[in-house]
Amino acid sequence: MPTALPTALITGATSGIGAAFARRLAAESFSLVLVARDEHRLEQNAAQLRLRYGVDVEVLPADLSTEEGLSGVESRLRDGVQLLVNNAGFGHPGAFLEVPVEDEVRMLKVHCEAVLRLTLAALPGMRRRGAGAVVNVASVAAFFTRGTYSASKAWVVNFSESAAAEVGDPRIKVMALCPGFVRTEFHDRAKMDTSGIPGFLWLDADKVVKEAMRDLALGKRVSVPDLRYKAIVAVGRLIPQNLAARVSARIGR
């Protein structure tokens, strides 16, 4: 009998890094489960992936800031997947004190609670099968101090490293992916002014995913794509936090 293809579930799968993961994994013959809020766009992306790569693509519309959305994705993960990519996320257009508290809580629900619950839903099946991987998309912002976004991404990094240590099985990998500025819809959706960001700091989503998959195969628990950002993170860990915060504020959120 033919061996079943591995399955990957990707949240925030309709654009940016999530869509890049979908393309990469489809090219590697993964069956896909695509999760996002926009069902029409999910269906469009799924049709393109089926046509181009000839793989099975399931769409699962879900808003991860709601209990209904989270529960639905948890249930699908308990059915079994070989790879989970927790990519869903967003930014706020205003500074910390300007953002309504309900919007801040919604960010924590998507960036933290969803990552926690979906990872915990996926890992038991991976442990039973003795193989699997979870990629939690964080950000270089995790290593700096810039409002709730960077704080939530710092949690993702710490959680991913902790989960990997708790699992304690080299066949089951948990990794935080920490890209810098990536050319996606993220900043436009958050209504962020990116005009002050130097051109050399922008990364390509497909290249970010390529490096992430390489680091995952190597068993890294934290992946920082691109030498430029590796250097930025290294310097950020050495300089005083108040100076790092001022630099972060000048470059952008």
Give the DSSP letter string of the chain. Answer: -PPPPPEEEEESTTSHHHHHHHHHHHHTT-EEEEEES-HHHHHHHHHHHHHHH---EEEEE--TTSHHHHHHHHHHHHT--SEEEE------SS-GGGS-HHHHHHHHIIIIIHHHHHHHHHHHHHHHHT-EEEEEE--GGGGS--HHHHHHHHHHHHHHHHHHHHH--TTEEEEEE---SBSSSHHHHTT---TTS-GGG-B-HHHHHHHHHHHHHTT-SEE--SHHHHHHHHHHHHS-HHHHHHHHHHH--
Is residue 149 among the annotated active site residues?
Answer: yes
Which residue among the candidates 53, 143, 144, 149 is catalytic per the annotation?
149
Residues labelled catalytic = 149
